Amino acid sequence: MTQFFEKLQKYALLRMIFLVLIGGFMLFRPNEIFHGVVYIVAGYTAFLGLLNLVVAFRNRQEGMSSFGLISGVLLLVAALAILVLAKPIVSIIPIFFGILFVIYGLVKFVKKPARRIVNEPSLPRKIFYLLILLVGILLIFNPFKTVLLVAQIAGAVILLMGIEEGINFFRRN
């Protein structure tokens, strides 16, 4: 167990640098991170497709049959689809959640509670449901910006994790 903690301490500075760089990029350049991830996933899928095609052609020359040709072509089509459809697919997710939030907020805002809890004011609850409704409307009408905002928030958290990792590293040494 002590070896595990020694390894964690040994690579703390490297983790700090990595977290600060990734977090900073996500915080200040979320669009580039999104496109980078899309290109990496599409590139990996295309690589797998090409690899399947090469294996299929080698098998064909040796007289063996395989599904490598079909899977290779399908993976190449999937890579192209990832490049073309990544932004619309990611934009659909916030719209879906936005619709759910709007419905939930409206139902809870309009609905009277089945039983009222003694000494609990209803105004804070109504304000909370109104905020859920407004977030839902924001998600519906500005889906891609909200995805980038979530990426920025995640980047800020990762950046803070990296700073905390650095503080702990320098305290120990």
Q: What is the DSSP string of 33-92?
A: HHHHHHHHHHHHHHHHHHHHHHHHHHHHHTT---SHHHHHHHHHHHHHHHHHHHHHHHHH
Cα 154 to Cα 66: distance, rounded to the nearest angstrom: 43
Query: Is residue 114 pLDDT above 60, yes or no?
Result: no
Cα-based distances in Å from 13 to 164, 169, 173: 11, 7, 11
Residue 84 CA: distances (Å) to CA of 8, 42, 80: 41, 10, 6
Element (H, E) at 123: helix 123-141
pLDDT at 117: 57
pLDDT digits (tens, 9 = 90+) for 6-16: 666 667 778 88
User: pLDDT at residue 98 above 70?
Assistant: yes
pLDDT number for residue 67: 73
Q: State yes or no: pLDDT of 27 exceeds 70.
A: yes
So what's the pLDDT on residue 19? Answer: 85
* Neighbour tally for 20: CB within 10 Å: 18
Rounded to an integer, the average pLDDT of 2-29 is 78
Average confidence (pLDDT) over 144-153: 81
Q: Angle 161-165-171 (CA atoms, 0-180°, nearest 5)?
A: 145
Q: Inform me whether the pLDDT recorded for 48 exceeds 60.
A: yes
Residues 6+ apart with CB under 8 A from 129: 104, 105, 108, 109
